[in-house]
Structures are given as C-alpha cells and as structure tokens.
C-alpha cells in the first residue's frame, strides 16, 4: 500500500516550497507535487525576487505587505542567507506627479529608510532627477536557489494534477494519498470551482545581464534592477494582464530595456538569459490563505445567497489554499506559509485580511458570475 502523507502540496513555486518547508519543520510528512520535475518553473522562476517594502499612504495592504516584508527578511537572513543578498533597494518616483506623492509617503514609511538624494543616486551609477527612499534592509533572492534549498529534504513527485478526490477522510491525488491537500498552483486555478477568489494572471519578464557596471544597490522605478551581484544584473517587471503568456513573448524585454536605459548605462549590459512568467493576484490584491469553500454546495443549498442572504460557509474538509501573492511572492510566502501552518496544526484563526472567505458572498451577489 502507498504511503499516506499528512499533507500533499500541489505546486512547487515559492508558495508551495515555503508551505512544504514550514510544515516539514513542524514534523509533518509532506509530499510536493508539480507538473514539472524541476523546482520553481512557474512565476517563481521568472521572478527577479526582489524583497522590498511597499510605499504609499498607509493602506491596509501596505501594512500587511510590510509585516510580511519584515518577517521575510528575518526568515531569509536566519535560514537562507546564502540565497538572500541584502543589497538595499532604492525606490525612485516614476514622474513628477509620483514625486509629489513621495513627499506624503514618507510619513507612512513604517519600514526604516533613508532619504537618498539624486546626487547620491548618481554617485551609485543611477540616473534620476528625483530623490528616492533607500530601504537598506531590502534585497534580492536567488529565486531558484532559494526554492531548491527550501525543499531539499522533502519528497517530490512530478504529475499534472487534473483532479483531486476525497474519499473516507483521505485525499487522492493520482496514486498519492494524504490527509490534507494544499493548493499552491499560482495563476492556474482550474482544479476546483474557486472563481470567488478572482485569481488572475499578470504577465512579466526578466533579463539577466553580464556586466561590469558598478551598481551597489538595487533599484525600483516601475521596473526593478538589481545591484550587480557577481557580475550579473537582473532587470524585471510584471505589468501585462493576459491570459495567454506566449502572445507577449515576442520581444519581452523591449519595454523593460527602454525604461532601464533612463536609469543606468544599458550599453554596458550583455544579455545572458531571458525569463518569462505569470504571477497570480486576487480580486482585492491581498493574498489568499485558508480553507476552500464548497461553492457547489453553497449555491445549491442556499440559492438566496445570490440575493444577499448570509449563510454559514461550508468548507471542503482538509483542503487549503495559499495563492494570490501578486508581484511580491518572495515577500509574502514565508509569513503566509507560517500563518497557514499555524491554522492547520494549531487551529489558529486565519487573519481576516487574507482569509479567502472575505470574497465569497460578494461574488455570489454578482449573479452574472454564476453559471
Ligand atoms: C517576471 C516576474 C518578476 C517578478 N518579480 C518579483 C519580485 O521581484 N519579487 C517578488 O516577491 N515577486 C516577484 N514576482 C512575483 C512572484 O514570482 C510570484 O508572486 C510567485 O512566483 C508566486 O508563486 P506561486 O508559488 O504562487 O506560483 P508559481 O511560481 O507560478 O507556482 C505554481 C506552480 O504550480 C504548478 N502547477 C499549476 N497547476 C498545476 C497542476 N494542475 N498540477 C501540477 N502542478 C501545477 C506550476 O507548474 C508551478 O510550478 C515576479 C513574477 C514575475 C513573473
């Protein structure tokens, strides 16, 4: 008879890898499944993997992002310092309007920062007419190295999962069995009816360049440019909402390179690798962490929920999700995995900001969504 795992995690991107690592450290028997036999093939492979705080006017999403940022920096420094380069990240206003906003943002910077004048930027090889914020704690991960290190000692299987079946308190995923399943499949959300979470993809690309250019700090100004790390500079961004990644794949770096050329001397860059990938976001941009609601049961049992009736939510037993990490998978994943593990193992309540339940009744009320 096949082994029964405590948990099967489906999807080996940064979400699945952090989830598996966290559960394994709590003594759980974990199997990681992905359609690829290689760790981190999805958005997590393409990611520049910058780990930097969010700036703004103190929105709830900024607060949550920066909680996750502090957690991630501590986590990477303590456990995976080899794959985290604390280069600092300087945030530069996009344009004159954005520059005015930076004046307001500084009052809401809940992460330590330094004012960084445009002259100082110039001294560091960065062209800008505006001053920026330097976040010295921020940095860049080696996305593939990190994901591999997270799951070094964890059982893995290569399988395209088309369906998951629950029978007699066990989940069956192909020939594998477990008491619990966690979905960490990124923008691909077709295993179950989870339309209420509004998962959508945003397409992006990244180029890695060999260069002797002296850029000691990483930069973010609508695109991200890494510090020169051992002769390599990474440039990446994700801005294109699209269902079909390949449509945009013709010249994936053109727009990036134009933007980069205003910031650094791009003539000194020699392209070595191109990565393209899709990141997944939720309807309200907050992560999706927790149990999964049985949509079919709810609609059949309580048809009035489409008219605004509030009914108790029925969850699918022992099924969880960690998704919707947006453009900050490497910032959010460690804290979100910790929260979900605490929920699964210690029955701790999920923070309402990230619990996908928040989206369900609203989605039901929008009758057009429901076929
Ligand atoms: C170009 C680019 C630049 C980015 N830059 C940054 C950055 O600087 N900083 C940052 O923090 N984030 C960045 N991101 C975002 C980050 O990459 C994502 O938030 C993160 O990768 C999401 O991880 P994930 O594990 O949820 O999804 P993914 O990495 O997409 O992993 C999902 C996995 O699930 C597997 N899968 C899906 N369906 C199935 C199935 N049915 N059966 C089996 N396996 C399945 C896929 O093969 C894949 O491996 C960037 C993204 C892109 C594309």
Check whether 270 has a pLDDT greater than 80. yes
Q: Cα(201) to centroid of ligand 1, in Å? A: 10
Check whether 241 has a pLDDT greater than 80. no
pLDDT tier at 36 (50, 70, 90 boundaries)?
very high
pLDDT tier at 254 (50, 70, 90 boundaries)?
confident
pLDDT at 23: 98
What single string gives the DSSP state of each residue in 321-334? EEE--GGGHHHHHH
Superfamily of domain 88-141+200-276: D-Amino Acid Oxidase, subunit A, domain 2 (3.30.9.10)
CA atoms within 13 A on the CB side of 291: 16
Nearest CA to ligand 1 atom 27: 186
CA distance 10 to 248: 27
pLDDT tier at 240 (50, 70, 90 boundaries)?
confident
Which ligand 1 atom is nearest residue 40's CA?
49
The helix (H) or strand (E) run that includes residue 255 is helix 254-261
Class for the domain spanning 4-43+145-199+283-369: alpha beta
Q: 4-43+145-199+283-369 and 88-141+200-276 share one CATH topology? A: no
Which ligand 1 atom is nearest residue 191's CA?
41
Nearest CA to ligand 1 atom 18: 329
Nearest CA to ligand 1 atom 3: 47
pLDDT tens by residue, 191-207? 999 999 999 999 888 99
Phi-psi region of 242 (alpha: psi -120 to 50; beta: other; left: phi over 0): beta
Query: How many degrees, rounded to 5, is the angle at CA 244 between CA 239 and CA 247?
Result: 80
Tokens of 167: 């029978």
By mean pLDDT, which of 40-49, 59-68, 78-87, 158-167 is the weakest?
40-49
Q: What is this structure's pTM? A: 0.96
CA distance 49 to 207: 13
Q: Cα(311) to centroid of ligand 1, in Å? A: 34
- How large is the average pLDDT for residues 248-259? 79
Task: Classify residue 240 as exposed, middle or buried by CB count within 10 Å of its CB (0-12, 13-18, 19+).
Answer: middle
pLDDT at 370: 60
Which of 238, 265, 245 has its CA nearest to residue 328? 238
Nearest CA to ligand 1 atom 22: 329
Contact call for residues 250 and 256 (beta carbons, < 8 A): no
Q: Cα(192) to centroid of ligand 1, in Å? A: 19
b/e map of 160-199 (b: 16 or more CB within 10 Å)? ebeebeeeeeebbbeebbbbbbbbbbbbbbebbebebbbb
pLDDT at 248: 52
CA distance 327 to 247: 20
Angstrom CA distances, 45 to 111, 265, 314, stand at: 27, 26, 35
- Most informative mutation of 22, 33, 38, 44 for ligand 1 (most atoms within 8 A of CB): 44
Which of 250, 310, 312 has its CA nearest to residue 276? 250
Q: Cα(275) to centroid of ligand 1, in Å? A: 12
pLDDT tier at 244 (50, 70, 90 boundaries)?
low
- Most informative mutation of 11, 83, 158, 249 for ligand 1 (most atoms within 8 A of CB): 11
Ligand 1 pocket residues where CB is under 6 Å = 10-16, 33-36, 41-44, 46-50, 160-161, 184-186, 188, 191, 204-206, 224, 236, 238, 277-280, 323, 325-331
Q: Cα(43) to centroid of ligand 1, in Å? A: 3
Check whether 219 has a pLDDT greater than 70. yes
Where exactly are the structural domains of the chain? 4-43+145-199+283-369, 88-141+200-276
pLDDT at 2: 79
pLDDT at 101: 96
- Most informative mutation of 39, 69, 329 for ligand 1 (most atoms within 8 A of CB): 329
């Amino acid at each position: 008879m096949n082994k029964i795992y405590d948990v099967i995690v489906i999807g080996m991107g940064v979400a699945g890898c952090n989830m598996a690592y966290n559960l394994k450290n709590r003594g759980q028997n974990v199997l990681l499944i992905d359609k690829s036999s290689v760790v981190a093939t999805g958005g997590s492979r393409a990611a520049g993997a910058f780990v930097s705080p969010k700036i703004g006017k103190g929105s709830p999403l900024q607060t949550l992002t920066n909680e996750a940022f502090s957690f991630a920096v501590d986590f990477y420094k303590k456990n995976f310092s080899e794959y985290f380069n604390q280069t600092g990240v300087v945030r530069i206003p996009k344009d004159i309007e954005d520059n005015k906003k930076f004046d307001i943002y500084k009052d809401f910077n809940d992460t330590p920062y330094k004012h960084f004048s445009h002259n100082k930027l110039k001294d560091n090889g960065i062209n800008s007419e505006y001053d920026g914020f330097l976040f010295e704690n921020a940095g860049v991960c080696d996305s593939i190295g990190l994901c591999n290190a997270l799951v070094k000692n964890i059982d893995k299987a290569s399988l395209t999962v088309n369906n998951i079946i629950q029978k007699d308190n066990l989940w069956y995923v192909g020939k594998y069995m477990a008491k619990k399943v966690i979905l960490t499949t990124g923008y691909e959300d077709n295993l179950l009816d989870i339309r209420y979470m509004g998962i959508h993809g945003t397409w992006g690309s990244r180029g890695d360049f060999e260069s002797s250019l002296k850029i000691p700090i990483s930069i973010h100004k609508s695109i991200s440019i890494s510090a020169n790390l051992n002769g390599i500079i990474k440039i990446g961004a994700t801005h294109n909402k699209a269902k079909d990644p390949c449509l945009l794949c013709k010249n994936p770096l053109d727009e990036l390179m134009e933007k980069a050329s205003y910031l650094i001397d791009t003539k000194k860059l020699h392209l070595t690798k191109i990565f393209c990938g899709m990141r997944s976001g939720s309807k309200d941009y907050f992560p999706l962490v927790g149990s999964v609601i049985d949509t079919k049961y709810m609609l059949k049992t309580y048809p009035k929920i489409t008219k605004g009736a509030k009914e108790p939510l029925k969850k699918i037993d022992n099924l969880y999700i960690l998704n919707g990490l947006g453009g900050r998978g490497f910032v959010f994943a460690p804290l979100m995995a910790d929260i979900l593990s605490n929920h699964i193992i210690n029955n701790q309540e999920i923070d309402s900001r990230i619990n996908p339940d928040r989206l369900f009744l609203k989605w039901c009320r929008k009758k057009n969504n429901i076929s």
